Amino acid sequence: MHGPALVNWLLALLAAGAGTSCLTRLRHSPCAPGGAHRPLARESDAAEALMGLGMAAMAVTGATVPAAVWAGLFGLPAAAFLLAAVHAPAGRAHRLHHAVGALAMTYMALAMTGTSGHGHHQAAALGLPVLTGALLLYFGGYTLWTGSRLLRTPAGALAVGTAGLPQACRLTMGIGMFAMLLTM
Protein backbone atom coordinates (compact mmCIF):
# COMPACT_ATOMS: atom_id res chain seq x y z
CA MET A 1 0.00 0.00 0.00
CA HIS A 2 1.06 3.62 -0.31
CA GLY A 3 0.96 4.73 3.32
CA PRO A 4 3.67 5.12 5.94
CA ALA A 5 5.56 1.89 6.66
CA LEU A 6 4.42 1.78 10.29
CA VAL A 7 0.75 2.05 9.27
CA ASN A 8 1.23 -0.70 6.67
CA TRP A 9 2.77 -3.04 9.24
CA LEU A 10 0.10 -2.27 11.86
CA LEU A 11 -2.60 -2.92 9.26
CA ALA A 12 -0.85 -6.16 8.29
CA LEU A 13 -0.75 -7.32 11.92
CA LEU A 14 -4.41 -6.44 12.44
CA ALA A 15 -5.53 -8.21 9.26
CA ALA A 16 -3.29 -11.24 9.88
CA GLY A 17 -4.71 -11.61 13.39
CA ALA A 18 -8.29 -11.46 12.09
CA GLY A 19 -7.50 -13.84 9.23
CA THR A 20 -5.80 -16.30 11.55
CA SER A 21 -8.76 -16.18 13.91
CA CYS A 22 -11.12 -16.94 11.01
CA LEU A 23 -8.86 -19.77 9.87
CA THR A 24 -8.90 -21.21 13.39
CA ARG A 25 -12.70 -20.99 13.49
CA LEU A 26 -12.85 -22.74 10.12
CA ARG A 27 -10.64 -25.55 11.34
CA HIS A 28 -12.51 -26.00 14.62
CA SER A 29 -16.03 -25.12 13.49
CA PRO A 30 -18.69 -27.06 15.34
CA CYS A 31 -21.12 -29.36 13.65
CA ALA A 32 -24.80 -28.52 13.58
CA PRO A 33 -27.25 -30.87 15.30
CA GLY A 34 -27.47 -34.13 13.39
CA GLY A 35 -23.77 -34.11 12.45
CA ALA A 36 -24.06 -31.83 9.41
CA HIS A 37 -21.54 -29.01 9.09
CA ARG A 38 -22.93 -25.52 8.84
CA PRO A 39 -21.94 -24.79 5.23
CA LEU A 40 -22.69 -21.05 5.30
CA ALA A 41 -20.69 -20.54 8.49
CA ARG A 42 -17.75 -22.52 7.09
CA GLU A 43 -17.97 -20.65 3.79
CA SER A 44 -17.97 -17.36 5.66
CA ASP A 45 -15.01 -18.37 7.82
CA ALA A 46 -13.05 -19.45 4.71
CA ALA A 47 -13.83 -16.20 2.88
CA GLU A 48 -12.92 -14.07 5.88
CA ALA A 49 -9.67 -16.00 6.42
CA LEU A 50 -8.74 -15.44 2.76
CA MET A 51 -9.57 -11.74 3.01
CA GLY A 52 -7.74 -11.19 6.29
CA LEU A 53 -4.57 -12.99 5.28
CA GLY A 54 -4.74 -11.47 1.79
CA MET A 55 -5.12 -7.98 3.24
CA ALA A 56 -2.07 -8.60 5.43
CA ALA A 57 -0.03 -9.78 2.45
CA MET A 58 -1.15 -6.85 0.32
CA ALA A 59 -0.37 -4.31 3.04
CA VAL A 60 3.20 -5.62 3.33
CA THR A 61 4.07 -6.55 -0.26
CA GLY A 62 2.05 -3.89 -2.07
CA ALA A 63 2.88 -3.57 -5.74
CA THR A 64 5.78 -6.05 -5.66
CA VAL A 65 3.38 -8.92 -6.39
CA PRO A 66 2.19 -9.05 -10.02
CA ALA A 67 -1.38 -7.94 -10.69
CA ALA A 68 -2.25 -11.35 -12.18
CA VAL A 69 -1.53 -13.03 -8.84
CA TRP A 70 -3.80 -10.64 -6.94
CA ALA A 71 -6.48 -10.88 -9.63
CA GLY A 72 -6.46 -14.66 -9.38
CA LEU A 73 -6.35 -14.70 -5.60
CA PHE A 74 -9.31 -12.34 -5.18
CA GLY A 75 -11.04 -12.24 -8.57
CA LEU A 76 -11.85 -15.94 -8.72
CA PRO A 77 -13.48 -16.06 -5.26
CA ALA A 78 -15.39 -12.87 -6.13
CA ALA A 79 -16.84 -14.56 -9.21
CA ALA A 80 -17.67 -17.67 -7.17
CA PHE A 81 -19.45 -15.59 -4.51
CA LEU A 82 -21.42 -13.69 -7.14
CA LEU A 83 -22.53 -16.95 -8.78
CA ALA A 84 -23.41 -18.48 -5.42
CA ALA A 85 -25.44 -15.40 -4.46
CA VAL A 86 -27.39 -15.59 -7.71
CA HIS A 87 -28.15 -19.31 -7.44
CA ALA A 88 -28.75 -19.74 -3.70
CA PRO A 89 -31.05 -17.39 -1.79
CA ALA A 90 -29.79 -18.57 1.63
CA GLY A 91 -26.92 -16.30 2.67
CA ARG A 92 -27.24 -14.09 -0.41
CA ALA A 93 -26.41 -10.82 1.39
CA HIS A 94 -23.38 -12.32 3.09
CA ARG A 95 -22.09 -13.77 -0.18
CA LEU A 96 -22.59 -10.43 -1.92
CA HIS A 97 -20.59 -8.74 0.85
CA HIS A 98 -17.75 -11.22 0.34
CA ALA A 99 -17.93 -10.62 -3.42
CA VAL A 100 -17.70 -6.84 -2.90
CA GLY A 101 -14.72 -7.34 -0.58
CA ALA A 102 -12.91 -9.60 -3.03
CA LEU A 103 -13.64 -7.25 -5.93
CA ALA A 104 -12.39 -4.30 -3.83
CA MET A 105 -9.16 -6.17 -3.12
CA THR A 106 -8.76 -6.92 -6.84
CA TYR A 107 -9.44 -3.27 -7.66
CA MET A 108 -6.85 -2.03 -5.14
CA ALA A 109 -4.24 -4.50 -6.36
CA LEU A 110 -4.74 -3.54 -9.99
CA ALA A 111 -4.61 0.16 -9.11
CA MET A 112 -1.38 -0.34 -7.14
CA THR A 113 0.41 -2.43 -9.75
CA GLY A 114 -0.82 -0.25 -12.60
CA THR A 115 1.14 2.74 -11.28
CA SER A 116 4.17 1.04 -9.75
CA GLY A 117 6.50 1.86 -12.63
CA HIS A 118 6.12 5.65 -12.47
CA GLY A 119 8.76 6.23 -9.79
CA HIS A 120 8.51 9.54 -7.98
CA HIS A 121 5.91 10.86 -10.44
CA GLN A 122 3.30 8.52 -9.06
CA ALA A 123 -0.23 9.89 -8.90
CA ALA A 124 -1.44 10.96 -5.46
CA ALA A 125 -4.73 9.13 -5.93
CA LEU A 126 -4.70 5.65 -7.43
CA GLY A 127 -7.66 4.12 -9.17
CA LEU A 128 -10.94 5.80 -10.00
CA PRO A 129 -11.93 8.36 -7.36
CA VAL A 130 -15.67 7.65 -7.78
CA LEU A 131 -15.21 3.90 -7.31
CA THR A 132 -12.82 4.40 -4.41
CA GLY A 133 -15.34 6.78 -2.79
CA ALA A 134 -18.19 4.31 -3.26
CA LEU A 135 -16.12 1.54 -1.69
CA LEU A 136 -15.15 3.84 1.19
CA LEU A 137 -18.83 4.58 1.80
CA TYR A 138 -19.71 0.88 1.65
CA PHE A 139 -16.98 -0.28 4.02
CA GLY A 140 -17.44 2.71 6.33
CA GLY A 141 -21.14 1.93 6.62
CA TYR A 142 -20.44 -1.79 7.00
CA THR A 143 -17.97 -1.08 9.79
CA LEU A 144 -20.47 1.10 11.66
CA TRP A 145 -23.22 -1.49 11.24
CA THR A 146 -20.98 -4.38 12.36
CA GLY A 147 -19.69 -2.39 15.32
CA SER A 148 -23.23 -1.58 16.43
CA ARG A 149 -24.15 -5.28 16.22
CA LEU A 150 -21.11 -6.18 18.31
CA LEU A 151 -22.16 -3.78 21.05
CA ARG A 152 -25.81 -4.84 21.05
CA THR A 153 -26.39 -7.73 23.46
CA PRO A 154 -29.34 -8.70 25.64
CA ALA A 155 -27.41 -8.18 28.87
CA GLY A 156 -26.03 -4.84 27.71
CA ALA A 157 -22.44 -6.08 27.96
CA LEU A 158 -19.89 -6.26 25.17
CA ALA A 159 -20.16 -9.47 23.17
CA VAL A 160 -16.43 -10.07 22.77
CA GLY A 161 -16.50 -13.63 24.07
CA THR A 162 -16.87 -16.66 21.87
CA ALA A 163 -20.19 -15.50 20.42
CA GLY A 164 -18.84 -12.05 19.52
CA LEU A 165 -15.59 -13.22 17.94
CA PRO A 166 -16.91 -13.53 14.37
CA GLN A 167 -18.45 -10.04 14.65
CA ALA A 168 -15.16 -8.66 16.01
CA CYS A 169 -13.26 -10.22 13.09
CA ARG A 170 -15.72 -8.72 10.60
CA LEU A 171 -15.37 -5.33 12.28
CA THR A 172 -11.58 -5.58 12.17
CA MET A 173 -11.55 -6.48 8.49
CA GLY A 174 -14.02 -3.71 7.65
CA ILE A 175 -11.76 -1.20 9.38
CA GLY A 176 -8.75 -2.68 7.57
CA MET A 177 -10.43 -2.46 4.18
CA PHE A 178 -11.46 1.13 4.89
CA ALA A 179 -7.86 1.99 5.87
CA MET A 180 -6.46 0.33 2.75
CA LEU A 181 -8.86 2.27 0.55
CA LEU A 182 -7.86 5.52 2.29
CA THR A 183 -4.21 4.96 1.36
CA MET A 184 -5.06 4.79 -2.35
Q: What radius of gyration, in Å, describes the C-alpha atoms of the chain?
A: 17
Report the SS3 class of residue 106: helix
Which long-range contacts (C-beta less than 8 Å, at least 24 apart) are formed by 31-36?
Answer: none
Confidence of residue 121 (pLDDT cuts 50, 70, 90): very low
| 26 vs 55, higher pLDDT | 55
pLDDT at 8: 82
- What lies within 8 Å, CB to CB, of 101 at 6+ separation is 47, 51, 173, 177
Confidence of residue 138 (pLDDT cuts 50, 70, 90): very high
Backbone angles phi, psi at 124, to 5 degrees: -70, -35
Q: Is residue 49's pLDDT more than 80?
A: yes
Q: Is residue 107's pLDDT more than 80?
A: yes
Mean pLDDT of the chain: 80
Tell me how far apart the alpha carbons of residues 30 and 180 are, in angstroms, rounded to a whole number.
Answer: 33
Query: What kind and span of H or E run contains 35?
Result: none
Tell me how far apart the alpha carbons of residues 126 and 110 are, in angstroms, rounded to a whole number.
Answer: 10
pLDDT at 1: 56
Tell me how far apart the alpha carbons of residues 8 and 125 are, in angstroms, rounded to a whole number.
Answer: 17
pTM of the model: 0.80
Domain that holds residue 114: 5-29+38-182
Q: Is residue 122's pLDDT more than 60?
A: no
The domain total for the chain is: 1
Q: What is the pLDDT of residues 60-88, one digit of tens each?
A: 887 788 888 888 899 999 999 999 989 88
| 112 vs 134, higher pLDDT | 134
User: Which phi-psi region, left, alpha or beta, contains residue 38 (left: φ > 0; alpha: ψ -120 to 50)?
Assistant: beta
pLDDT at 2: 61
In the predicted model, what is the mean pLDDT of residues 125-145?
Answer: 91
In the predicted model, what is the mean pLDDT of residues 34-38?
Answer: 49
Q: Is residue 52's pLDDT more than 60?
A: yes
Q: What is the pLDDT of residues 139-151, one digit of tens each?
A: 999 999 988 887 7
